[in-house]
Structure 1
Amino acid sequence: MSDMSDIPQNTVVRDPNENEFLQAVSDVMSSVRPVLDQTPEYRHHGVVERLVEPERIITFRVPWMDDMGQVKVNRGFRVEMNSAIGPYKGGLRFHPSVNQSILKFLAFEHVFKNALTTLPLGGGAGGTDFEPKGKSDAEIMRFCQSFMAELFRHIGASTDVPEGDIGVGAREIGYLFGMYRKLNNQFSGVLTGKGLGWGGSLIRPEAAGFGCVYFAAQMLATRNDTLKGKTCLVSGAGNVAQATCRKLIEMGAKILTLSDSSGHIFDEQGIDAQKLDFVKRLKNIRRGRISEYVDEYPDAVYTPATPDQDENPLWRHRAQCIFPCATQNEIGKQDAYHLINNNVKLVCEGASMPCTTEAQEIFIDKGLLYAPSKAANAGGVAVSGLELTQNSIRLSWLGEEVDSRLKIIMKSIHDTCLSAAETYGHPRNYLVGANISGFVKVADAMIDQGVI
């Protein structure tokens, strides 16, 4: 756990067991301390105390019927954290681990991530402890319809615009949007990540991964270097990991690993475009496990997950660039030391907060190029914002145009982070730069709008 001295005491008292949320708050507040010291107005207006308290949390039951006719009940959430600069924007996560702490951390991160995109978007997050894995399409449809039967009351194109996260892909977004459209009798841009034939945007499924690689390329460019020829470790095997791999391959890098909750594969020959196509079919269509990769490519090695250990064997492999794209806190202190000992040069976060506070501190202390998720994986929400724009004007942009806008946005985020870090005495510290830039933008908007 981070040093909690930077967190408002009321938050620690009210939410003592929300470890992920307290970690996220501490990571931001420790970075913005110099801003608060130099700008007393932020303290006078209670900006921090208001920022860490969600504007609204909706909790609801989700009853649904499985294929055997048995009624099941899950718990649904939507955390609407802050709307000072625009409608709430953030993912829906379907996973057994979902709880209020995780969703508050995700919503809190989205407040600053979305502020960095240059688009007028607030921060939110939601989801449920439902497990899509192993469920039939009919069961998932019934669940999504029941989930939306309550959520629809609280969202809208100008109010709260959810998108996909872990466990929520194109299939789930389709079922959710269909139910929303039926209940509201209107076609609007309320969900992003929609199908291309009904309001979706080209590049949206790949945006977080593409943006992550674009950010990494910008970091390397500050040292007159490129991704070409670099060996890379990528965790995860979902949309973000797949898109990260695709763009890394295009830029001439060599990818050695992918993973899911069952374990990871290591392919010394490198995961090329053909192998990546196999992974896409495996995960997106067959919904299989990453262990099946070695059945298709026997030269690769599969290592089962060891959840009880304090380290992940994936991060023991030697590589130059690291792209954690799986889940929060997947790189801990011991993992960070393994990576440092293997002479890693760059860590670029594709997932939300995949590095613990201890791992972040190690990377920054050792002078690595380290990009926090709120900056590096902002590409997903950026293109979601572009999808909203296309919905509003009833137009669809070409993929090249969306990709071009994404590159511009990621370069802007990179330069903004560097500039803020330099201004406040932490040159090349992207974590401090991202936190300060996002905080100042949201805090100024909150002050302008009064104490609400």
Structure 2
Amino acid sequence: MDDRLREIYDSVIRRNPGEPEFQQAVESLFTSLAVVVKRHPEYTENALIDRMCEPERQIIFRVPWVDDTGKVHVNRGYRVQYSSVLGPYKGGLRFHPSVNVGIIKFLGFEQIFKNALTGLPIGGAKGGADFDPKGRSANEMMRFCQSFMTELQRHIGEHTDVPAGDIGVGQREIGFLFGQYMRLRNAHESGVITGKGTAWGGSLVRKEATGFGVAYFVANMLAEDNDSLDGKRVTVSGSGNVAIYAIQKVQEQGGTVVACSDSSGFVVDEKGIELDLLKDVKERRRGRIHLYADERDSARFISGGSIWDVPCDVALPCATQNELDESAAKSLIRGGVRIVAEGANMPVTPKGVAAFRDADVRFGPGKAANAGGVATSALEMQQNASRDSWHFDYTDRRLEQIMSDIFGRCRDTAAEYGTPHDYVLGANIAGFTKVADSMCALGVV
């Protein structure tokens, strides 16, 4: 960082103590900006970068709800509306016990630049609650979602803020949230939330979009070397929505996914993950990953340990933030990894990213590689606005083209600033400059 960026960064740290994930996200961006502000000193004027780091609005609220035994619980809800310079606030809702304001700010800050990279008119936001969905009945989930939306509905709208799902918030929860919104507003504003069921305003491919998008981004990375996923050995962490559909698209493109995981451990299947069985275990039965190995002769379950010890050509961390550290990165390097792309938000630590860079492993950062989900959410908003519904293949082609365009922006920007194949720098600068140019145009607001 140059002196001015260091001054801004130090101010961010002072103003946001005890928020390591948010501080990490800001630092990750700032390490790419020295060459930009040297070329464009106007970006350091009028406190532009200072304003970019400060959310436009932070909302924290109480979420009381009643479990099936009649016991009353109280959780804390969040919505950080970070930047509306490119369009209405857009970003998911996360229900997980680890949620706090620092994590929501980190996710919202990343979302600004991810959304900018899509080329679509959407701003950045994030929200959620420190609520644990594990073990909760459908009725408990409904009551919690209804209580959460009772407050959130005051702050959202199709032209203001459009939430979606994230960890712990799938299509079922989106349904409960949207139903309560309609009840309170007495209006069917389908564009107010995305990730809906296709029967009531949702888009085909939305469920698959983040995972499909990661695979499309990797395909573009490999194409730079006249290569493809065909015949590649792939490891995917996680076994939720992103991981499952990343596995599906990798397999469709000829790759063999040999391992996936959940919080209890991971499975290795040398014959390749049997997708129908994995979907049955995780999507229908909502079971733990060991059930897959219990029912598949070629698979073994490993409790503890690291999925990143499994040798592979391509690694896709699709679980959660900071899951892949420097030690895991070096293990992957020893195992012959050539490509790493983030399906989750910031799953690789800064030292892990540095290890990949030093080993000349091509690395796709989350704000680019996993932008397919929010991109397809924006396509859902387009369909809602026009009262239209697109076919699966058409929407999938749109997604594939958007991911190709995102990759092109990262590649071309990295080359423009003298660091070919540094997709972290390319993504950071391309996203930043689009937001910064718009902020310059709109004045000090």
Shorter-chain TM band = over 0.9
Q: Which residue of structure 2 aligns with residue 352 of structure 1?
A: 345
Check if 1:336 corresponds to 2:329: yes
1:7 deviation in Å? 5.1
TM-score by length of 2: 0.98
Q: Which residue of structure 2 aligns with residue 308 of structure 1?
A: none
Figure out how many residues of one structure are paired with residues of the other and give that number: 441
Contact 1:28/1:435 (<8 A) preserved? yes
Check if 1:247 corresponds to 2:269: no
Deviations 1:224-272 (A, max 9, x none): 111001000001011100100000110111011111111111111111x
Q: Secondary structure at the match of 2:378?
A: helix
1:5 deviation in Å? 4.0
Higher deviation after alignment, 38-47 or 153-162: 38-47
Q: Secondary structure at the match of 2:136?
A: coil
Contact 2:314/2:337 (<8 A) preserved? yes
Q: Which residue of structure 2 aligns with residue 294 of structure 1?
A: 293
**C-alpha separation in 2, matches of 1:55 and 1:261:** 34
Contact 2:9/2:27 (<8 A) preserved? no
**C-alpha separation in 1, matches of 2:33 and 2:212:** 28
1:33 deviation in Å? 1.6
Q: Secondary structure at the match of 1:34?
A: helix
Q: Secondary structure at the match of 1:259?
A: strand
**C-alpha separation in 1, matches of 2:188 and 2:354:** 46
1:187 deviation in Å? 1.4
Contact 1:209/1:242 (<8 A) preserved? yes
Deviations 1:388-424 (A, max 9, x none): 0000000000011101111111111001101111111
**C-alpha separation in 2, matches of 1:257 and 1:317:** 8
Unaligned runs of 5+ in 2: none
Letter in structure 1 aligned against 2:377: S
Q: Which residue of structure 2 aligns with residue 194 of structure 1?
A: 196
The Cα RMSD (Å) is 1.2
Q: Which residue of structure 2 aligns with residue 434 of structure 1?
A: 427
Check if 1:421 corresponds to 2:414: yes
Q: Which residue of structure 2 aligns with residue 387 of structure 1?
A: 380
1:218 deviation in Å? 0.5
**C-alpha separation in 2, matches of 1:96 and 1:263:** 19
Q: Secondary structure at the match of 2:152?
A: helix
Check if 1:61 corresponds to 2:59: no
**C-alpha separation in 1, matches of 2:34 and 2:322:** 24
Letter in structure 2 aligned against 1:337: K
Q: Which residue of structure 2 aligns with residue 309 of structure 1?
A: none
Letter in structure 2 aligned against 1:44: E
Q: Which residue of structure 1 aligns with residue 139 of structure 2?
A: 138
**C-alpha separation in 2, matches of 1:249 and 1:109:** 29
Q: Which residue of structure 2 aligns with residue 234 of structure 1?
A: 236
Q: Which residue of structure 2 aligns with residue 73 of structure 1?
A: 74
Identity %: 53
1:88 deviation in Å? 0.7
How do residues 89-104 of structure 1 correspond to structure 2 at under 5 angstroms?
A: 89-104=90-105
Q: Secondary structure at the match of 1:131?
A: coil
Letter in structure 1 aligned against 2:26: V
Deviations 1:50-84 (A, max 9, x none): 11111100000100000000000000000111110
**C-alpha separation in 2, matches of 1:44 and 1:37:** 12
**C-alpha separation in 2, matches of 1:392 and 1:411:** 25
Check if 1:206 corresponds to 2:199: no
Q: Which residue of structure 1 aligns with residue 119 of structure 2?
A: 118
Q: Which residue of structure 1 aligns with residue 47 of structure 2?
A: 46
Contact 1:6/1:29 (<8 A) preserved? no
Contact 1:419/1:433 (<8 A) preserved? yes
**C-alpha separation in 2, matches of 1:339 and 1:294:** 23
**C-alpha separation in 2, matches of 1:298 and 1:224:** 36
Contact 2:86/2:122 (<8 A) preserved? yes
**C-alpha separation in 2, matches of 1:211 and 1:69:** 43
Higher deviation after alignment, 430-439 or 360-369: 360-369
Q: Secondary structure at the match of 2:258?
A: strand
**C-alpha separation in 2, matches of 1:210 and 1:155:** 28
Q: Which residue of structure 2 aligns with residue 221 of structure 1?
A: 223
TM-score by length of 1: 0.96
1:45 deviation in Å? 2.2
Q: Which residue of structure 2 aligns with residue 451 of structure 1?
A: 444
1:6 deviation in Å? 7.2
Unaligned runs of 5+ in 1: 306-311
